[in-house]
Structure 1
């Protein structure tokens, strides 16, 4: 019979004491239950799509015959589900690639006159989870600060495109002066809100009932912003987690599409393992240059509009193969990382896909969507009606519920997509 250990047990020698981590035997001593790891969500979007004939099997089910692209993910066949026949309705916007703005929001008619984007699913989740982590959400991009994350007012949240900066924010403590400046910035924000709030109260005494309702909503948003600032301020006094990783090197060459994408994806497991954030988005964008990949001699965007030219399709598939290899490596890192009695992937719902189903025709229907991890029963290909698509937001609703955010609707959903 083992004697329960005290939580304060330590190893002592030569005047040095090293505290022990929380062990299973300590749980018995202090009467604690094992704390389950948190649920998380990661979205990864390749904005120029994936060549459909190389991705989708001919028949659905768990016994589907693999394809050229799925062979790249064969080591993780039981860790993901592939969907066909999902899309957002009314996505014919002003410009063919405007659907990049709405992959996570489902706002209709992107880019047309009067268009206003809506909240993205990652920001909806982050708003519900709040400052449970140092960063409620993190948006990453392989090229520029253009992101797919939008606030409730339809304002884009700039993405981080420099891995070294992201690593520093996550894991490197700033100097006392940097912390002071950060705290002063937060205090300045609060003082501005205090001033606006006082003006709002004064206006309330001079306006109609209808105007007061509108101002009350505005005032509520101010109070929410104040709460966020207080939460952010509290994190300044908490030490950042330590990781046994060297800071990543930024890749300045825009032509190194794969290197940039891989470096960003490598940051995600670190961020999740240290519980620095539970909501992360990654967008892989067109870099407007010829990617430095053997066998590729044209720009990614131009190759995506191949017009059935076999040579262009061949080069496009080379690029997409490398992107999918990055995703396969990401899944491997997520499965190697352990927590509690499982893997990091088991508590993380990962959505990988694109805003374009057929980039050659700028077609935003029949999107390639892969759901990995999250504790779902995977290992199948699910094909919905390719002529009358199921709303992608139905899957968003399922994922939101899976990470602990109870909701019946999101965006253009018509229900909850049940994963068989």
Structure 2
């Protein structure tokens, strides 16, 4: 096998070395290693312990729904053309069709409401008001036992903008929680030991943040006495977010002297770039590999992963995902959209295989891990970007009480809200509640 340098050379660098000005051909040494070779990462034989976990994987722009929906329902359903990419795991997942968020407006705000079910325009006088996402409800329950209550991953860092979110996670006040898009930074955050100097710098940063939060709370208390009832309510929602931040900082402080799990980087292509179309398959793979390691070491039990932001994204060969979602019913564009859908499911298939191959007691990691996969919009038969009949899969979690290996087909016109499914996930994760957003019950047939 040809050995590639860890950092690719540039044409300019080589030409300067040769002292010439010629059109140099593309050499192997110039190819970024992240897409020059496939991943060699190997799943572990066993995890560090048996725990319930949840990961929510989001793909933007909907799917080719014509090739997604199975023609039959129930336990003995036939896989559709697209879902055949998951054939090896047919007994490990349930496909849910016909379901949607009644309060969602559709379009490219799907990521904003996928895990919240919120009506973003419900508050008079506000253009955008979100609510807590399902992952954060679960994180409140499980986060006390792990270094990180939850992780947010996306192909664009930060939070994005209202209606075009770069994150799937929202706290109790509906404030977006920033996502990480760098495999290197995420790995270091999870597994690279802090130096003593680094610990001191971190503690200093935490102290400064606490000081700022204290000042905000003091000023807010003074301001609160001068406000009307409605403004006081708005301020209280903001202060709840400040208090949550304060609690997160305190939790991080308590973990500062606890060693991080020892994890090797072998097989992990940490230099993969989400914005590089050629890196796309490897970037998705390495982020799923790091997610797997975070679960296997119990660094966290809750992850959200937005594979691409809405109105963006690539296929496995660099295809423009967003452009193809506006297919207008064009057969060739629909065909290409189906290719992207199957590429995405091939990466999910690999992740499910990693989880299933890792033993935990008498079962495996997949049995203890709920994997939600889907999109917050449906590009439909004509590319209309609807919030109805959302493409949705639920895999794993059979050790947590979920029933798999079936197609739950609901009437698109009289479907239960997607919040019913989210409530089923919350309960399977051990949270005692009988309501989430606009849910009417748990999802019939799933648990």
TM-score category (smaller protein): 0.7 to 0.9
1:58 offset after TM fit, Å? 1.3
Partner of 2:277: 255
Partner of 2:181: 161
In 1, Cα distance between the equivalents of 2:191 and 2:178?
A: 20
Range with greater deviation from structure 2 (247-256 or 273-282): 247-256
1:71-220 aligned within 5 A: 71-92=84-105, 96-109=107-120, 114-145=127-158, 146-197=166-217
Q: CA RMSD in A?
A: 2.9
Range with greater deviation from structure 2 (119-128 or 327-336): 119-128
- C-alpha contact 1:365 1:389 (8 A) present in aligned 2: no
In 1, Cα distance between the equivalents of 2:138 and 2:56?
A: 12
Name the SS for the 1:390 alignment partner. Answer: coil
In 2, Cα distance between the equivalents of 1:401 and 1:90?
A: 22
Partner of 1:299: 320
Name the SS for the 1:97 alignment partner. Answer: helix
Counterpart pick for 2:385 among 362, 365, 376: 362
Instruction: Mark the CA change 1:390 to 1:209 in structure 2 (over 3 Å): closer, same or farther.
Output: closer
Name the SS for the 1:349 alignment partner. Answer: strand
1:338 aligns with 2:349: no
In 1, Cα distance between the equivalents of 2:223 and 2:387?
A: 46
Counterpart pick for 2:287 among 264, 287, 301: 264
In 2, Cα distance between the equivalents of 1:68 and 1:217?
A: 46
1:416 aligns with 2:438: no
Count of residue correspondences: 380
1:318 aligns with 2:336: no
Range with greater deviation from structure 2 (383-392 or 357-366): 357-366
In 2, Cα distance between the equivalents of 1:210 and 1:190?
A: 28
- C-alpha contact 2:77 2:406 (8 A) present in aligned 1: yes
Name the SS for the 2:277 alignment partner. Answer: coil
Instruction: Mark the CA change 1:272 to 1:322 in structure 2 (over 3 Å): closer, same or farther.
Output: same
1:223 offset after TM fit, Å? 5.5
Name the SS for the 1:371 alignment partner. Answer: strand
1:130 offset after TM fit, Å? 3.2
- C-alpha contact 2:49 2:298 (8 A) present in aligned 1: no
- C-alpha contact 1:87 1:365 (8 A) present in aligned 2: yes
Partner of 1:12: none
> Deviations for 1:271-325, whole angstroms, at most 9, x for unmatched residues?
10100111101112258576461xx7x5211111222222212221221111110
Range with greater deviation from structure 2 (329-338 or 46-55): 46-55
In 2, Cα distance between the equivalents of 1:289 and 1:84?
A: 24
Instruction: Mark the CA change 1:217 to 1:322 in structure 2 (over 3 Å): closer, same or farther.
Output: closer
1:369-388 aligned within 5 A: 369-375=392-398, 376-388=402-414
1:222 offset after TM fit, Å? 5.8
1:44 aligns with 2:57: yes
Range with greater deviation from structure 2 (73-82 or 103-112): 103-112
- C-alpha contact 1:366 1:386 (8 A) present in aligned 2: yes
Q: Which aligned runs of 4 or more in structure 1 are off by greater than 6 angstroms? A: 200-204, 206-211, 213-221
1:72 offset after TM fit, Å? 1.1
In 2, Cα distance between the equivalents of 1:221 and 1:308?
A: 44
Partner of 1:284: 307
1:189 offset after TM fit, Å? 2.3
Gaps of 5+ in 1: 1-34
In 1, Cα distance between the equivalents of 2:408 and 2:359?
A: 29
- C-alpha contact 1:143 1:254 (8 A) present in aligned 2: no
Partner of 1:407: 433
Name the SS for the 2:144 alignment partner. Answer: coil
1:109 offset after TM fit, Å? 4.5
1:59 aligns with 2:72: yes
Name the SS for the 1:130 alignment partner. Answer: helix
In 2, Cα distance between the equivalents of 1:210 and 1:231?
A: 33
In 1, Cα distance between the equivalents of 2:79 and 2:185?
A: 39
1:225 offset after TM fit, Å? 4.4
- C-alpha contact 1:91 1:110 (8 A) present in aligned 2: no
Name the SS for the 1:126 alignment partner. Answer: helix
TM-score by length of 1: 0.82
Partner of 2:20: none
